[in-house]
């Protein structure tokens, strides 16, 4: 069992014929839109500070060429809309969120707050498209984008090819759902011709993270891991590997990666690994556990004969993030979530670290 703060994009049920009809009406960019079939090229990196077009961005399916500064950007997956908004750009279409705390029909609270701070009119608010089962290609096409960004997504090659018929499309760069937040912001800023803004945003966020961590000195030198436990089914659990953005963010906040998690990460290419609770004692090197869950989770774990063998569980140095809370969407960081929730997150980690 595992969980993401968004549905995975694993099925593509919409009829290709319908999609292509929609796409053809909007596909005005011609052959210059995407060079995906050729694979990544040595010319695909944007010159530092250049900010000129055309821009070429590498990703898992090749290289996408953006001929001119995009004016209407649709996003797929997690975090990219937040990063665009933090860079001053309002997307035309974004994922409707259903996990954790949402507002106004599917916006994350910090996303809506940032849009309100930008005084975006109701008519100009990003349209919400559904990704609970697959990507709603028709809704994205209807927003008439001239660029589609899915830098933190699980976009399949088939989905990428279809979206590329609508507009130049950027898929994830290396890891589905798991490219580091700095890399995602950098590529987003390059795609809109604002590499310097991207660098400044990253520097500002790093300063925010460092100050939050410094305010809770107990964190320093401890080890931490993000896991997933289900109180109704404790016979197994999942650990998030080092390829995932969530444990990487723990590193940003000053926690070290335990050797047990490093070993798990070497044995799989997935962002998580499922573990039988019979092997729970392997994780005695984890000082702090962060997990999604319900309020009764920790007590259930401490009563379990196997999970109670994990020292972090026995002493209560476990941060349980309520599935219905704002923080449930903050473990996987974006530019806006870092600004809004890092102080709270560091406080929770500091409290857990004080029990070690």
Third-level CATH fold of 16-193? Rossmann fold (3.40.50)
Which tens digit of pLDDT belongs to each residue from 265-303?
999 988 899 999 999 999 999 999 999 999 999 999 999
Domain boundaries, the chain: 16-193, 217-353
Say if residues 291 and 321 touch (Cβ distance below 8 Å).
yes
338 burial (CB, 10 Å; 0-12 / 13-18 / 19+) is: buried
Among 201, 168, 192, smallest CA distance to 333 is for 201
CB 80 within 8 A of CB 9: no
Of 154, 149, 127, 145, nearest in space to 10 by CA: 154
Collapse the DSSP code of 231 into the 3-class scheme (helix H, G, I; strand E, B; otherwise coil) and give the result.
Answer: coil
Q: So what's the pLDDT on residue 39?
A: 36
Q: Are 101 and 329 in contact (CB under 8 A)?
A: yes
Query: What does DSSP assign to residue 284?
Result: T
Q: Do 217-353 and 16-193 have the same topology in CATH?
A: yes
pLDDT surpasses 80 at 354: yes
Residue 21 banded pLDDT, cuts 50, 70, 90: very low
d(CA 106, CA 112): 10
Average pLDDT score over the chain? 88
What local confidence, expressed as pLDDT, does residue 20 receive? 39
- The owner of tokens 């608010």 is 125
- pTM, rounded to two decimals: 0.85
Buried b (16+ CB within 10 A) or exposed e, 214-244: eebebbeebbbbbbbbbbeebebbbbbbbbb
pLDDT at 130 over 90: yes
Instruction: Supply the pLDDT for residue 17.
Output: 36
Q: What is the pLDDT of residue 224?
A: 98
**Which of residues 27 and 51 earns the better pLDDT score?**
51
Give the CATH number of domain 217-353. Answer: 3.40.50.1980
Q: What is the sign of the dihedral through the CA atoms of 19, 22, 24 and 27?
A: negative
pLDDT of 192 above 50: yes
Residues ≥6 apart with Cβ < 8 Å to 104? 112
pLDDT at 231 over 90: yes
Cβ 313 vs Cβ 284: under 8 Å = no
Q: What is the pLDDT of residue 50?
A: 52
Chain-centroid distance of CA 148 in Å reads 16
């Amino acid at each position: 069992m595992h969980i993401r703060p968004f549905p995975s994009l694993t099925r593509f049920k919409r009829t290709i014929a319908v999609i292509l009809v929609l796409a053809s009406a909007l596909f005005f960019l011609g052959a210059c839109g995407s060079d995906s079939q050729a694979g990544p090229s040595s010319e695909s990196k944007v010159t530092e500070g250049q900010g000129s077009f055309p821009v070429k961005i590498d990703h898992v399916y090749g290289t996408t060429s953006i001929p001119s500064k995009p004016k209407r950007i649709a996003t797929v997956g997690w975090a990219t809309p937040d990063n665009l908004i933090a860079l001053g750009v309002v997307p035309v279409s974004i994922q409707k969120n259903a996990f954790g705390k949402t507002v106004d029909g599917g916006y994350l609270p910090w996303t809506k707050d940032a849009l309100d701070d930008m005084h975006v009119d109701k008519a100009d608010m990003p349209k919400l498209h559904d990704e609970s089962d697959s990507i709603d290609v028709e809704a994205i096409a209807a927003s008439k984008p001239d660029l589609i960004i899915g830098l933190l997504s699980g976009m399949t090659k088939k989905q990428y090819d279809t979206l590329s018929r609508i507009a130049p499309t950027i898929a994830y760069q290396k890891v589905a759902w798991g490219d580091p937040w700095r890399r995602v912001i950098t590529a987003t800023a390059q795609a809109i011709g604002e590499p310097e803004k991207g660098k400044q945003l990253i520097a500002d966020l790093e300063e925010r993270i460092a100050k939050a961590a410094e305010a809770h000195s107990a964190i320093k030198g401890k080890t931490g891991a993000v896991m997933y436990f289900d109180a109704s089914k404790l016979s197994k659990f999942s650990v998030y590997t080092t390829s995932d953005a969530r444990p990487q963010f723990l590193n940003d906040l000053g926690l070290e990666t335990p050797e047990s998690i490093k070993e798990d990460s070497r044995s799989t290419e997935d962002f998580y690994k499922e573990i039988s609770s019979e092997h729970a004692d392997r994780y005695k090197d984890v000082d702090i556990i962060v997990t999604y869950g319900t309020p009764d989770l920790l007590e259930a774990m401490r009563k379990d004969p196997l999970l109670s063998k994990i020292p972090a569980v026995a002493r209560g140095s476990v941060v349980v993030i309520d599935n219905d809370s704002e923080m449930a969407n903050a473990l996987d960081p974006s530019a806006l979530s870092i600004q809004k929730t890092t102080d709270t997150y560091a406080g929770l980690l500091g409290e857990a670290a004080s029990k070690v």
